[in-house]
């Protein structure tokens, strides 16, 4: 899993049901794997799971909280 530089950019977010423009951090994630051993669908699900945890700041389950 490779990460790019974290940059701040404007993004549309929902605040109390209303859309607003806010500054958010963005990063590009790249995944490299051997397609002979790992199915592309499994690799994609893994990358989506990482993305979702980063967006939700959901780190507790694997850290024992």
**DSSP assignment string, 4-42:** ---EEEEEEEEETTEEEEEEEEE--EE----TTTS-HHH
39 is catalytic: yes
Catalytic status, residue 16? no
Catalytic residue among 16, 34, 35, 42: 35
The CA distances from residue 33 to 2, 38, 47, 51, 64, in Å, are 11, 7, 11, 17, 28
CA distances for 11 relative to 14, 32, 36, 48, 64, angstroms: 10, 28, 38, 20, 32
- Predicted confidence at residue 21, as pLDDT, reads 96
Instruction: List the catalytic residue out of 16, 34, 39, 42.
Output: 39
Q: What is the pTM of this model?
A: 0.62
The pLDDT value given to residue 29: 85
Tens-place pLDDT, residues 5-59: 999 999 999 989 999 999 998 988 888 888 888 888 998 898 888 888 888 876 6
């Amino acid at each position: 899993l490779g990460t790019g530089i974290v940059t701040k950019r404007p993004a549309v977010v929902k605040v109390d049901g209303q859309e607003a423009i806010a500054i958010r951090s963005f990063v590009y994630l790249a995944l490299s794997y051997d397609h002979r051993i790992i199915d592309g669908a499994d690799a994609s699900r893994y990358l989506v799971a990482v993305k979702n945890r980063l967006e939700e700041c959901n780190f507790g389950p694997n850290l024992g909280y």
